[in-house]
Amino acid sequence: MKQSLRLTGPIVVGADGSAGARAAASWGVQAADRHETSLELWHALGLPDYYFGSVPPSDELLRKVKNRGEAILREAADTVEYPHGPVVRTHLADDSVAPALIKASGTARLIVLGSTEHTRFTALFGGSVTTSLAGHSHCPVVSVRGRGWDLPSAAKLPVVVGVDGSPAARLAIAAAFDEACVRGADLVAVHAWEDVSASRSFGDPAGNYGWGAFTESARRMVAQQVSTFRESYPDVEVHQVVVHDEPRQELLRWSVKAQLIVVGSRGRGGFRGLLLGSTGQSLIHHAACPVLISRTAGS
């Protein structure tokens, strides 16, 4: 197997005691095992949120918040630690969730979040936090969604990456190749190049515009972006899909038959504004499998 081209560092998982957090921890420990790195479980106390203006919280409240955070981390660690598994560490952060995890992303390989509603103590798993991290994290961010991703049958499913020709898509392809390699999975590169009504764009209400040239051009673009990584990952079987459809709908359809969806944090064409618009929000809230949003420092 070729040496990974991706980031080094631990897998960082956000923990808040919810079912979504437990799913994220389970996904994270498997990822740490695959990538031969350690797992860090982070819980954000959110102490700034307990201040009323300049008035600090009482010592009693601070003790309760800290004790609860420590209990959550102990439970999470007990859930994922196993003999001969990756090293598991815990970290209790004073800051609010997004700032704490953005800081952690500076030395992490992946940030992993669950996908449930937030509790009264944190908003860790809300889409807004995932979106914030997708815009500011220094490493890729994973939203663990769907059911059955931990079943043996899921290992036979492909890793799917959205491609649009942008620099962000290149990062996504690199991450997708790396994930497909460590999973022993096929890679499906998907380009859906219509994100607006074709009839409105080309003044053809009958929908008779000749799309053959556009499709062929899109196929060449996908082949060119994918070819960059084939030599580094010769064992990864690659399939290319070009469709005349909305990216949001196409990626959601693929999420039903994939073990992981990989997208760029932003792009152009069909994936423009991915994590700020309907496509990104749909993946975060409705994808049927985990979603990896590729990021690197400065991207």
Mind listing the pLDDT tens digit for each residue in 193-242?
764 444 445 555 545 555 677 788 889 999 999 999 999 999 999 999 99
Across the strands, what pairs with 292? 142, 262
Q: CA-to-CA distance for 221 and 24, rounded, in angstroms?
A: 34
Average pLDDT along the chain: 84
Q: Is residue 68 scored above 80 in pLDDT?
A: yes
Say whether pLDDT at 279 is over 70: no
Q: Which residue has the higher pLDDT, 285 or 160?
A: 160
In this predicted structure, what is the pLDDT of residue 246?
A: 86
Q: How confident is the model at residue 9 (pLDDT cuts 50, 70, 90)?
A: very high
Per-residue pLDDT at 136 = 86
Largest CA distance in the chain: 70
Within 10 A of 237 (CB to CB), how many other CB atoms are there?
12
In this structure, what are the phi and psi dihedrals at residue 231, rounded to the nearest 5 degrees?
-65, -35
The helix/strand/coil state of 88 is strand
Quick one: average pLDDT of 31-41? 96
Amino acid at residue number 76: A
The residue whose two tokens read 């959601």 is: 252
**Domains in the chain and their CATH numbers?**
11-143 (3.40.50.620), 152-294 (3.40.50.12370)
Q: Of the candidates 167, 279, 284, which has an alpha carbon nearest to the alpha carbon of residue 225?
A: 167
Q: What is the band of 161 on the pLDDT scale with cuts at 50, 70, 90?
A: very high
DSSP, res 217: H
For residues 182 and 192, the answer to whether their CB atoms sit within 8 Å is no
For residue 204, the model assigns a pLDDT of 53
Q: What is the pLDDT of residues 237-258, one digit of tens each?
A: 999 999 988 888 999 999 999 9
Alpha carbon distance 284, 286 (integer Å): 6
* % residues pLDDT > 70 (the chain): 81
Q: What local confidence, expressed as pLDDT, does residue 153 receive?
A: 94
- pTM to 2 decimal places: 0.86
Q: How far apart are CA 214 and CA 143, in angstroms?
A: 33
- CA atoms of 255 and 287, how far apart (whole Å): 6
* Whether residue 167 has pLDDT greater than 80: yes
pLDDT of the residue at 264: 84
The model's confidence at residue 296, banded by pLDDT at 50, 70 and 90, is confident
Question: What share of the chain in percent tops pLDDT 90?
Answer: 61
Report phi then psi at 111, rounded to 5.
-105, 130
Burial level of 185, CB count in 10 A (0-12/13-18/19+)? buried
- pLDDT at residue 181 above 60? yes
Cα 151 to Cα 141: distance, rounded to the nearest angstrom:
22
**83-133 residue pLDDT tens:** 899 999 999 999 999 999 999 999 999 999 998 544 433 344 445 778 788
